[in-house]
Structure 1
Amino acid sequence: MPRGQQRRVATPGQNAKHYLAGALHAKTGRVLYVSGQSKDSGLFIAMLSKLRSTYRQAKSITLVVDNYIIHKSRKTQCWLADNPKFKLVFQPVYSPWVNRIERLWQALHETITRNHRCKTMWQLLGRVRHFMETVSPFPGSGHGIRKVEHN
């Protein structure tokens, strides 16, 4: 563009958002996740519930989490009090490299959500779902080179 001029870029409708909460099994690389319309304690509790039902036989479940407010909320604390098999280990503040699942989120953004060309949220969510279903075991499953079916 000539200096001092800007090209007008049309942006699509509303800035719709959808959120994921996930857990990465440290030994097997298995990925479990839930999704929702808001990033709140309910989403985190849904993830905890999924872990509880998936690992029913486990005597304890230890999660390494960041210091995001939904991990410490009153609602979450009440749920954890009723489910004593869960133990949360908080990573140091501003240290995302400590938690291995952060690499999963980075891979998801790099391969699917960043600079996508989906026209609808449902198309994008389909690609995210495909990524999440084929990423296990993580890392090492070739998630970055796997082709996603285009709808």
Structure 2
Amino acid sequence: MGRPMAELTLTDDEREALVRWSRRAKSSQALAQRCRIVLGCADGKTNQQVAAELGIWPQTVGKWRRRFLEHRLEGLADEQRPGAPRKISDERIEEIVVATLERTPKDATHWSRASMAAETGLSKSTVGRVWRAFGLKPHLADTFKLSKDPQFIDKVRDVVGLYLDPPERALVLCVDEKSQIQALDRSAPVLPMMPGMPERRTHDYLRNGVTTLFAALNVASGEVIGSLHRRHRAAEFKKFLAKLDKEVPAGLDVHLICDNYATHKTPAIQKWLAGHPRFHLHFTPTSSSWLNQVERWFALLTDKQLRRGVHKSVHALEKDIRAWIKSWNENPRPFTWTRTADEILERLASYLERIPGAGH
């Protein structure tokens, strides 16, 4: 037994507004979530059911259920906070937000606080407060790349299936090469960190050669098998496959997740695979390196060992890489893959809806 739950019903106009706000690309995420809460409650679901679907606390659902019942659509806005009364009208705030989202200044590709202040007649600090309140950052831009692989969906399902439901008596390895790793030495000695002063190094450096790391990450255990070569060809990849064949127990099949680099598909590699039937190659879609978990491990190697490393020779560089791999394997940490293929494809579909012409 518990407190009786207040019934929530919607008019047609209210439902239409809530659906529109929850789906509009430029709505704030907080408002969109509140709309989804009310829509779920209107469908007769309990607070616990709505909370489970949206991944939030039941108390949050109860709060916005009560606010909507008391004030209807106006209750979904944030309550006025204590302090001095606001001097800027909602219309002026809307003007800033709409201009930021839908227009650019005449002499630039994006707004600054100064240019928006000149455009609206408000102060730069006011513009900054409005942007912070709505999570707008015109000075920032991120990058993305869409795969044009005609087999994108099949490859995503294949790779993610190996992560979430690996075959029995088999090893799943994420394989790739980190090529052109440079042995860099600074033109002057590095000055160590001191209290109140960070480590300092010269901006220029000396190049002392390059090497290539072939790596295979065990999805289940996090252990890494690595091999260093001075060149990056199918011949070196074939040697790495032979090393994997030697180190993986004979009774296990080997599923390799790799990208579409040409060295993985040469006749020599195909011939080697035909002679080793326990090896199975699975290719990620083009321009989708984020599907290969070994890329995340490469990022750790770069951040922890390579970016600030100083090496006077390729031999010294390779020695440090081997030592880092050995240290990693003493306490391996597998990456946990959680998203299903359907969740990835649904997320991508919603993203494409925001890009004009992307669905054609």
Provide the TM-score with structure 2 as the length reference: 0.34
Could you give the per-residue CA deviations for residues 73-119 of structure 1, whole angstroms, max 9, x where no partner exists? 11111111111110000011111111111111111111222242222
- Asked whether the equivalents of residues 211 and 231 of structure 2 are also in contact (C-alpha less than 8 Å), the reply is yes
Q: Secondary structure at the match of 2:209?
A: coil
Between the aligned partners of 2:292 and 2:218, the Cα distance in structure 1 is 12
Residue matched to 1:20: 213
Between the aligned partners of 2:236 and 2:312, the Cα distance in structure 1 is 26
Residue matched to 1:40: 233
Task: List structure 1 runs of 4+ shifted beyond 4 angstroms.
Answer: none
Residue matched to 1:101: 294
- Asked whether the equivalents of residues 260 and 283 of structure 2 are also in contact (C-alpha less than 8 Å), the reply is yes
Deviation at 1:45, TM superposition (A): 1.4
Residue matched to 1:5: none
Specify which of 265, 274, 277 is matched with residue 72 of structure 1: 265
Unaligned runs of 5+ in 1: 1-8, 141-151
Could you give the per-residue CA deviations for residues 52-74 of structure 1, whole angstroms, max 9, x where no partner exists? 11123234110100111111111
Alpha carbons of 1:18 and 1:108: their partners in 2 closer, same or farther (altered >3 Å)?
Answer: same
Matched, 1:138 2:333: yes
Between the aligned partners of 1:55 and 1:127, the Cα distance in structure 2 is 25
- Asked whether the equivalents of residues 213 and 226 of structure 2 are also in contact (C-alpha less than 8 Å), the reply is yes
One-letter amino acid of the structure 1 residue matched with residue 217 of structure 2: L
Could you give the per-residue CA deviations for residues 114-148 of structure 1, whole angstroms, max 9, x where no partner exists? 242222222222111111111121348xxxxxxxx
Unaligned runs of 5+ in 2: 1-202, 336-360
Between the aligned partners of 1:59 and 1:116, the Cα distance in structure 2 is 38
Deviation at 1:19, TM superposition (A): 0.6
Between the aligned partners of 2:252 and 2:304, the Cα distance in structure 1 is 36
Q: Secondary structure at the match of 1:16?
A: strand
Count of residues in Structure 1 that have an aligned counterpart in Structure 2 = 131
- Asked whether the equivalents of residues 219 and 334 of structure 2 are also in contact (C-alpha less than 8 Å), the reply is no
Alpha carbons of 1:10 and 1:104: their partners in 2 closer, same or farther (altered >3 Å)?
Answer: closer
Quick check: which has more Rg, 1 or 2? 2
Between the aligned partners of 1:86 and 1:57, the Cα distance in structure 2 is 11
Between the aligned partners of 1:64 and 1:99, the Cα distance in structure 2 is 7
Specify which of 315, 336, 357 is matched with residue 122 of structure 1: 315
Matched, 1:63 2:256: yes
Whose helix proportion is higher, 1 or 2? 2
RMSD: 1.8
Matched, 1:91 2:284: yes
Between the aligned partners of 2:228 and 2:253, the Cα distance in structure 1 is 24
Residue matched to 1:112: 305
Between the aligned partners of 1:26 and 1:60, the Cα distance in structure 2 is 14
Alpha carbons of 1:10 and 1:134: their partners in 2 closer, same or farther (altered >3 Å)?
Answer: closer
Specify which of 228, 232, 246 is matched with residue 53 of structure 1: 246
- Asked whether the equivalents of residues 209 and 313 of structure 2 are also in contact (C-alpha less than 8 Å), the reply is no
Between the aligned partners of 1:39 and 1:55, the Cα distance in structure 2 is 23
After superposition, where does 1:5-16 map in structure 2 within 5 Å?
A: 11-12=205-206, 16=209
- Identical aligned residues as a percent: 28
Alpha carbons of 1:10 and 1:109: their partners in 2 closer, same or farther (altered >3 Å)?
Answer: closer
- Asked whether the equivalents of residues 22 and 32 of structure 1 are also in contact (C-alpha less than 8 Å), the reply is yes
